[in-house]
Amino acid sequence: MLWHPWGEHASSLLVLTTDALLREYNIADDAQEPTQTLSFITASPKPAASASRRGFSADDDEDEKAVGMVIGGGGGWGPLTVMGLMRNGDVRAICPFLPSKA
């Protein structure tokens, strides 16, 4: 869990679960229902082995299990980037991300 620094009244709580879903809760309005739900896993299925693809990727079930996250720092796009660490060591990013009430 992390607090997003740009959430209105410091009330934007980000929760990452092992299924790689990022949920934002605005605790000032409703701490029970998320205001946003995003995924670090792409929605499209992985291409078949015979399909053409760019790059290389191991067939690894651990690449869809999240273990940690961080909000980018510094200037520019940093505060608009949420990075997720997968169990196999992959780092994925959701950018741009902005709290629902920023």
Per-residue three-class SS string for 73-97: CCCCCHHHCEEEEECCCCEEEECCC
- Three-state DSSP at 10 gives helix
* Residue 47 belongs to some domain of the structure: no
**By residue range, what is the domain housing residue 25?**
2-41+61-94
Q: Is a pLDDT exceeding 60 seen at residue 97? A: yes
Beta strands in the chain (DSSP E): 2-3, 12-16, 21-26, 36-39, 66-71, 82-86, 91-94
* Residue 19 belongs to some domain of the structure: yes
**What per-residue confidence (pLDDT) applies to 43?**
57
* Residue 100 belongs to some domain of the structure: no
Q: Is a pLDDT exceeding 60 seen at residue 22? A: yes
User: Residue 83 forms beta bridges with which residues?
Assistant: 70, 93
The number of folded domains in the chain is 1
Both tokens of 32, joined, read 């029970």
* Residue 67 belongs to some domain of the structure: yes
* Residue 16 belongs to some domain of the structure: yes
- Mean pLDDT score, 60-87: 91
Query: The pTM is what?
Result: 0.80
**What per-residue confidence (pLDDT) applies to 53?**
46
**What per-residue confidence (pLDDT) applies to 47?**
52
* Residue 33 belongs to some domain of the structure: yes
pLDDT tens digit sequence for 37-72? 999 997 545 555 444 445 555 567 788 999 999 999
**What per-residue confidence (pLDDT) applies to 56?**
53
Rounded CA-CA distance 62/66 in Å is 8
* Residue 80 belongs to some domain of the structure: yes
**What per-residue confidence (pLDDT) applies to 61?**
74
N- to C-terminal Cα separation, the chain? 18
* Residue 30 belongs to some domain of the structure: yes
